[in-house]
Structure 1
Amino acid sequence: MSEADEITRQLLRYSPDALVVVDAGGIIRFANETVRDLLGYEPGDLTGKPIEVLVPERLRQRHGSYVANFLRAPRNREMGVTVADLAAQRADGSEFPAAIRLAHFHVGESLLVAAAIRDMTERRRINAALVLAREEADRANRAKSRFLASASHDLRQPLQTVRLLNASMLRMVNDTDVGALLRRQEQAIDSMTRLLNGLLDVSRLESGAIELQLVDVRLDDLLDELRQQFEPIVRARGISLYVTAENVGLRTDRTLFTQLLENLLGNALKYTDRGSVSLTGTLQSDALHLDIEDTGIGIPQEKVEHIFDEYYQVDSSGTRRAGVGLGLAIVREVSRLLGYTVAVYSQVGVGTRVRVSIPRDMLVARDAVADPQAARHAARSASRPRLILIEDNEGVRVATELFLQLEGFEVTSAGSAGEAQQLLESMRGDELLVVDYHLEGSRTGLELVSGVRQRRGVEIPAVVLSGDLPSVLRVQKTPIPRCRFLSKPVDTEALLQAISELATG
């Protein structure tokens, strides 16, 4: 016997799987040594016995149909891959979950089938543990979503109060030094707002809870706003900021697109201690490419693939940088939602370039996009309506009322749905409603708006504020005439703009 033949013989005898060979009549013709450990039979004792001795009695009828089907069209395959309780029976009558692989061959004119049998007890246990862990993770994720939905509103309320009080004080003081301090405070509040939004937005983005609100946007207008937003930071850092782009329009979700660029610029500035940061837009045949480039510390090649992970920060200098590592995770999710691609090129000690590519079919003619500056000017020159403010958080209500009064509005407020009902009954007809969406109990500000509109038969203009705006908009799928939705903590300029636009509508 050759060495190869001996290896083959020993392999059959001592295969890691129990191996039996069965003829077309279902009689066992061969069993290897492994059946002793797995099935409790001596190999010779199985020879000549029907294969059913290895099948639990409860499964024998079904096993017979499997055998018949296999013999009609024999092929090498896994036995019963769709059967969850496939099992084998030991000599002592006990069972174990089994995986059985079938292979057919001929000896002369005789068809024989080899069955390799493996004990799946441990694998089934591991799979069950994995399923249980997945179910626990899903439950935890649902609980997190419920927490975010409720905590989002509660966390934003005090920040809303602080922002409005800051805006009010800026309008009240004439002292230059105090004004400078208040503007510094305003920047800190904006930073707190962005951090809170980042913590809450990543989970909503990943869960698909954000729906796109597509509008036509002038790229140069949006980039000009970003330049103004980051100029104080750039001056404080002693670096240069260059923003240039093609005069094009694009159809996008303005809020998400702005958030994407804000995070990329903010990240570039965070890791640049000297030199410059630039945002350049170039229109090419395939796409509009936005390149955010810095002369910062750069990213080691082995870390580039991780920078879009949540809470991951790169700082090869060892200096602690502000933030918690969510900015680029938001970029990843927003770019996926908007259909953009993001690529990163970096060299340690030289700098980093991030390229956002926007497909050309998402671009629109710039001249067809309305001029936002003209719209804002027209809205601000409109007459000022009497405002009815409905807000059940006392701190937020007082701060909002003070801010609006300093802006020259006549404001009447209510701190509950019950108070609001009495106030709404005495309306004169020239009012505009500013309502918090989440009121006490299960009542919503939007229900109050709908109720007074039905009673009066008039689409009374309304601004609805919410600390969990994406969830509100997901429930309210159809547009509501003469109604604006704003997220808390509300941007004071956005609030004034919404009031002005509704007053002229």
Structure 2
Amino acid sequence: MDLLSDITQHLLRFSPDALIVVDASGRIRFANQTVTQLFGYAPEQLQDKPLDTLIPERLRGKHVSHLTAFLNKPGNREMGARIADLFARRADGSEFAAGIRLAPFEIGGALFVAAAIRDNTERQQINEALIAAREDADRANRAKSRFLATASHDLRQPIQTIRLLNAAMLKVSPPDLRELLQQQERAIEGMTRMLNALLDISRLESGAIEPQVTNVPLLELFHQLITEFESIAQARGITLRIEPAALIVSTDRNLFYQLLQNLVGNALKYTDHGEVAVTCVADAAALAITISDTGIGIPSDKLDRIFDEYYQVDTQGAKRMGVGLGLAIVKEVARLLGFSVSIASRIGQGTQATVNIPHRFLAAVPTGNDAASSVEPVEGTTRRARVLLVEDNDGVRLATELFLRFEGFVVKSAHSAAEAESLFANCQPGDVIVADYHLDSRNTGLDLLTRLRQRLGYDVPGVVLSGDLPSVLRSVRTSVPNCRFLSKPVDTVALLDAIDELSVAREQAQD
């Protein structure tokens, strides 16, 4: 027992923390040796002194209220856990940030409080540095979000102009220039893909994307994939086979399409012959959508890195395409949606990318749908529609107008929301509106289309274009009938198909 008593005495006197004991009146009744190192007082100098001796004058009033509250409801706790300005005063008058742990106890019915005190100056400096770093990071994220909003619109505008002008020149150029224009078209496509990938990964990393869940029919998404990639596959001499699936997935439509879009685009990019196929298999646990190709394949020792940003596999001397962000985007989008993606591949035998969608995301299967006809693109349509174009960028407006006229459309255009109102005054049945979403601070292209529909009493067909389509679609809370949303730089085939489909749908509704 004597040894235990000695140990206890030494622990009290030489504890790493300064220890003091105060009574209910706030007077110091005990101080250990560590107090000297921390405060500069000998223990006997503090005997029977008020606790205010160790508190800066500016904080003594606040301290009295805290001590009173503690004595009214004593308990083991850290003093000042929610107080930013908890400081102690040394014998020489200097101050330091203090960490204080309190523990009440009784002796003979009298209440005492033990306080363990340490210098928290370094900890406070670290916390202040962390707070400053977080504020810097928040400012950087806000700046990044502003940049993305600007870049999504402004950087895409000149590419849109070049793309449309190139398509228009292809229509009227002599054969000896057509090959050069086709090479230029492929360069524009590559530039567009890289810009989209860089903006997409930046937006995902900044946390600026929140999934907006709705019921998404796979038939519609697969039809959109065919519309976008059929012409690319044909140009490369590859068969694109997408098996219809009458299933509905409860998810964010735009993110889900972006995921499939990247996987199908990747498969086509690395396939020189054969086919790219999209198939679905559902069981009790999950829906598996597999995108398989007969392309060059991926070495087994590289499979664990293919989802890394900016990483590209050097396969059998194949040339690099893109910037290596497609699968990084797929991985991040899948995480946001609650899905998973796996890749299987063998060199020379192709690749299979499988999206696993847990069963809880599957909604009711629709009935009475003709799956095969639902995914067939519109073919053989006659372009009779007149296009009313609203675009505030002069270069994009002139290029779009020129391209559509070479495709056989009658085009009337306006460069502002105010001018569009005059243009729409002559809107006729069968006209299709093509409008940029971002027009001015008060009007969007969708606003103009909505007001026109209200005035005429029917759903005037419309195509809305945007350089920041994901953000636009998230802001559109309800489905917009008889309207197509396309991303800038717009795919010329997708634009023509959208106008054709809307024209045919309007004619069928009139019949």
In which range does the TM-score fall when normalised by the shorter chain? Answer: 0.7 to 0.9
SS of aligned partner of 1:207 = coil
Residue pairs, 1:89-488, within 5 angstroms? 89-105=89-105, 112-172=112-172, 175=175, 182-205=181-204, 206-208=207-209, 211=212, 214-218=215-219, 228=230, 231=233, 247-251=245-249, 252-264=251-263, 281-290=280-289, 295-299=297-301, 308=307, 311-313=309-311, 315=313, 321-342=320-341, 355-363=354-362, 364-365=364-365, 368-369=368-369, 371=371, 373=373, 381=381, 384-417=384-417, 419-428=419-428, 430-439=430-439, 444-450=444-450, 452-453=452-453, 459-480=459-480, 482-488=482-488
What code does the residue aligned with 1:153 have? H
> 1:414-435 CA distances to partner (integer Å, 9 max, x unpaired)?
3445554543444455532222
Structure 2 gap segments, 5+ residues each: 507-511
Question: What is the CA distance between 1:43 and its match in structure 2?
Answer: 1.8
Deviations 1:287-308 (A, max 9, x none): 013456784124569x65xx65
Deviates more, 1:227-236 or 1:47-56: 227-236
**Farther-moved stretch of structure 1 (162-171 vs 376-385):** 376-385
Deviates more, 1:355-364 or 1:78-87: 355-364
Question: What does residue 509 of structure 2 align with?
Answer: none
User: Within 2, Cα distance between the matches of 1:409 and 1:372?
Assistant: 30
Q: Distance in 1 between matches of 2:366 and 2:263?
A: 24
Counterparts in 2 of 1:381 and 1:143: CA distance versus 1, 3 Å: same
Contact 1:297 1:350 in 2 (8 A): no
Percent same amino acid at aligned positions?
52
Change (3 A) 1:348 1:414: closer
Is the partner of 2:155 in helix, strand or coil? helix
Is the contact made by 1:298 and 1:350 (CA closer than 8 Å) also made in structure 2?
A: no
Tell me the SS of whatever aligns to 2:103: strand
Report if aligned partners of 1:227, 1:243 keep a CA contact under 8 Å in 2: no
Partner-residue secondary structure (3-state), 2:331: helix
Residue 79 (structure 1) aligns with: 79
Residue equivalent to 2:20 = 20
Query: Is 1:88 aligned with 2:77?
Result: no
- 1:276 to 1:16, Cα distance in 2 relative to 1, 3 A: farther
**Which shifted more, 396-405 or 314-323?**
314-323
Q: Alpha carbon RMSD of aligned pairs, Å?
A: 4.4
Q: Decide whether the 8 Å contact of 2:21 with 2:30 is kept in 1.
A: yes
Query: Residue 21 of structure 2 contacts residue 31 of structure 2 at CA under 8 Å; is this kept in 1?
Result: yes
Post-superposition Cα deviations, 1:1-24, rounded to whole Å, max 9, x if no partner, equal 977766654444343322212345
Partners of 2:274 and 2:444 lie apart in 1 by: 51
Q: Is the 8 A contact 1:242 1:277 kept in 2?
A: yes
- Residues 216 and 274 of structure 1: is their aligned pair in 2 closer, same or farther, counting only changes over 3 Å? closer
Q: Is the 8 A contact 1:20 1:32 kept in 2?
A: yes
Aligned residues: 496
One-letter identity of the residue aligned with 1:191: G
Q: Partner of 2:156: helix, strand, or coil?
A: helix
* Contact 1:101/1:117 (<8 A) preserved: yes
Rounded to whole Å, the distance in 2 between the matches of 1:350 and 1:432 is 46
What is the DSSP-based 3-state SS (H/G/I as helix, E as strand, rest coil) of the residue aligned with 2:26?
A: coil
Query: 1:200: Cα distance to partner?
Result: 1.8
C-alpha distance in structure 2 between counterparts of 1:195 and 1:107, whole Å: 75
Q: TM-score, normalised by structure 1?
A: 0.79
Q: Aligned-pair distance for 1:343?
A: 5.1
Spell out, residue by residue over 1:116-148, the C-alpha distance to the aligned partner (whole angstroms, 9 max, x if none).
Answer: 112223322332232222222222222222222
From the superposition, tell whether residues 151 and 378 of structure 1 become closer, same or farther in structure 2 (CA, over 3 Å): closer
Residue 493 of structure 1 aligns with an amino acid whose one-letter code is V
Shift of 1:486: 2.1
Distance of aligned partners of 1:153 and 1:227 in 2 relative to their CA distance in 1, 3 Å threshold? closer
Question: What's the CA shift for 1:475?
Answer: 4.3
8 Å contact from structure 1 (residues 217, 250) kept in 2: yes
Instruction: Indicate how the Cα distance of structure 1 residues 24 and 419 shifts in structure 2: closer, same or farther if over 3 A, else same.
Output: closer
Letter in 1 for 2:100: I
Alpha-carbon separation, structure 2, partners of 1:349 and 1:116: 69
8 Å contact kept, 1:386–1:410? yes
Q: 2:50 is matched by which residue type in structure 1? A: P
The equivalent residue for 1:497 is: 497
Equivalent residues of 1:297, 1:316 under 8 A apart: no
TM-score (norm. length: structure 2)? 0.78
Unaligned ranges ≥5, structure 1: none
Contact preservation (8 Å) 1:271, 1:297: no
Decide whether aligned partners of structure 1 residues 447 and 224 sit closer, same or farther in structure 2, where only a CA change above 3 A counts.
Answer: closer
Q: Is contact 2:230–2:240 with CA below 8 Å preserved after alignment?
A: no
Q: Retained in 1: the 8 A contact 2:218–2:245?
A: no
> Once the 2 structures are TM-superposed, how far is the Cα of residue 359 of structure 1 from its aligned partner?
1.8
Q: What SS class does the counterpart of residue 387 from structure 1 fall into?
A: strand
SS at match of 1:84: coil
CA distance in 2, matches of 1:463, 1:31: 80
CA distance in 2, matches of 1:11, 1:276: 78
Amino acid at match of 1:208: I
- Residues 372 and 418 of structure 1, relative CA distance in 2, 3 Å threshold: farther
Flag the 1:64–1:300 CA change in 2: closer, same or farther, 3 A. Answer: farther
Q: Is the 8 A contact 1:246 1:283 kept in 2?
A: no
The answer on whether the counterparts of 1:244 and 1:279 sit within 8 Å (CA) in structure 2 is yes
One-letter amino acid matched to 2:203:
R
